[in-house]
Amino acid sequence: MKAPWFDYQAPTSLADALAVLGQAEGDGRVLAGGQSLMPMLNMRIADPAVLVDINRIPGLDGIEETDASLSVGALVRHADILNSDAVRARWPLLHEATTYVAHPAIRNRGTVCGSVSHNDPAAEHPSILATYDGTVVIASAEGRREVPAGEFSQGMLTTALEPGEMVVGVRYARPPEGTGSAFVEFARRLGDFAIAGAAALLTVRDGVCERARLTIVGMGEGPLRATAAEDALTGTKLEPGAAPGLFADVAHEVKATLDPAEDVHASSGFRRHLAGVMVQRALTAALMRTRETR
C-alpha cells in the first residue's frame, strides 16, 4: 500500500504545469486534492511517470459568479463549496450534492474539478455539472478549449481529456427563475460512494413544467442524463395532486432504460430499483422547492 516511484513537480505557474504535462507525453497526472489519485497510487492501480502537483499555482482556487454562470477553479475543495454562501443561496443543487461527498478530512483536500476529471460513476460532481448544463474548461500548452459536460464524460473513469491537457475549471449554467432543485442518494453509510442517486432541476411557471433536468448517479457509466424523461416532463402540468403519479411513471420509464452492472455493493436489479426510487424522490423534492422559491 505504498505509492510507486514517480517524478514529482510542483510548478508555481499554470504555464509551467502545462509544459511539464506536455513533456510527459500522456504519462503525467495532475495532483490536486489527491483524494482519488493517491489511493490509486497506493493500490498501484495508477503508475504515472510524472506527478504534476498544482497546489502551489495561484489563481486556481476561485469561485466566481456572474448573471449567467458559476465558475469553479481547479483548486476549489469540496469544503470551499460547502462554505460558500453564494453556492448555498443560489446554486442549491451543487451545495446539497456536496454534503454527500465523503467526509470532512477528504472534503478539505479533494477538489470539484478532480472529481469531474476522475469521472467515477458513483461520484456526485460529474452528475451535478451535467445537470446544470455545465462546461469543462481544459488547458494544455497549445491553448484552451471548452467541452460540454455531456461530451466530457466518455464512460467509467474516462473523459475527453487528451494527453498533455488538464481541467482548469468547470462552469455551471444558471437555471431560469422558478427552478427548484434536489439531490438524493442512497449509500450504505454516510459519505460512502452512491449505490444510486438522482439530481433534478424543475422549472415551473403557472403550474406548467417549462424545463426539466434529471441525472442518474451510480449506474456505471458516469453521469447519465435522462433526456427522454426530461422531454416527457416538459410541458406537463405539475399540480400537487397529479405529480406523484406522473413522477412514478417517469421513474418507471427511466428504470426501463437502465442496465447497471452488478458488484459487491448491489445487484443489477437492486441498483435499478433504487434508481427509480431516487428519481421519484428527487423530482418530488425539486417540485416542492419550486414553490418555496416563489
Partner 1 sequence: MAREQSITLTVNGREYTRTVTVRTSLADFLRDHLHLTGTHTGCEHGVCGACTVSLNGRSARSCLTLAVQADGGDVVTIEGLRDDEGEWSPVQKAFFENFAVQCGFCTPGFLITAIELLRGNPDPSEEEIREYLSGNICRCSGYQAIIKAVQAAAAAARGQE
Determine, following the binding rule CB under 8 A, whether residue 190 of this chain makes contact with partner 1.
yes
Candidate list 46, 63, 79, 277; residue touching partner 1; CB under 8 A: 79
Determine, following the binding rule CB under 8 A, whether residue 85 of this chain makes contact with partner 1.
no
**Nearer to partner 1 among residue 54 and residue 212 (C-beta):** 54
Among the residue ranges 2-10, 64-72, 149-157, 276-284, the one whose residues contact partner 1 (CB under 8 A): 2-10
Determine, following the binding rule CB under 8 A, whether residue 103 of this chain makes contact with partner 1.
yes
Q: What are phi and psi of 228, to 5 degrees?
A: -65, -40
How far apart are CB 39 and partner 1 at their closest, in Å?
Answer: 4
Query: Which residues are paired to 30 by β-bridges?
Result: 52
**Nearer to partner 1 among residue 5 and residue 206 (C-beta):** 5
Site for partner 1 in 20-59 (CB under 8 A): 31, 34-35, 38-39, 41-43, 50-51, 53, 55
**Nearer to partner 1 among residue 100 and residue 172 (C-beta):** 100
Cβ–Cβ < 8 Å for 57, 77: no
Determine, following the binding rule CB under 8 A, whether residue 19 of this chain makes contact with partner 1.
no
Candidate list 6, 14, 61, 69; residue touching partner 1; CB under 8 A: 6
How far apart are CB 100 and partner 1 at their closest, in Å?
Answer: 11
Determine, following the binding rule CB under 8 A, whether residue 265 of this chain makes contact with partner 1.
no
Candidate list 88, 90, 109, 255; residue touching partner 1; CB under 8 A: 109
Burial of 4 (0-12, 13-18, 19+ CB in 10 A): exposed
**Nearer to partner 1 among residue 28 and residue 126 (C-beta):** 28
Sheet harboring 166-173: ordered strands across?
Answer: 63-65, 69-73, 166-173, 135-140, 143-148
How far apart are CB 265 and partner 1 at their closest, in Å?
Answer: 14
CA dihedral (237, 126, 151, 85) in degrees, to 10, reads 70
Half-sphere exposure of 190 (CA within 13 A, CB side): 3
How many Å is the Cα radius of gyration of the chain? Answer: 19
Determine, following the binding rule CB under 8 A, whether residue 10 of this chain makes contact with partner 1.
yes
How far apart are CB 96 and partner 1 at their closest, in Å?
Answer: 14
Residue from 96, 82, 223 nearest 148 by CA = 223
Candidate list 15, 86, 105, 208; residue touching partner 1; CB under 8 A: 105
Candidate list 2, 58, 68, 245; residue touching partner 1; CB under 8 A: 2
Determine, following the binding rule CB under 8 A, whether residue 227 of this chain makes contact with partner 1.
no
Binding positions for partner 1, rule: CB under 8 A:
1-10, 31, 34-35, 38-39, 41-43, 50-51, 53, 55, 79, 102-106, 108-109, 189-191
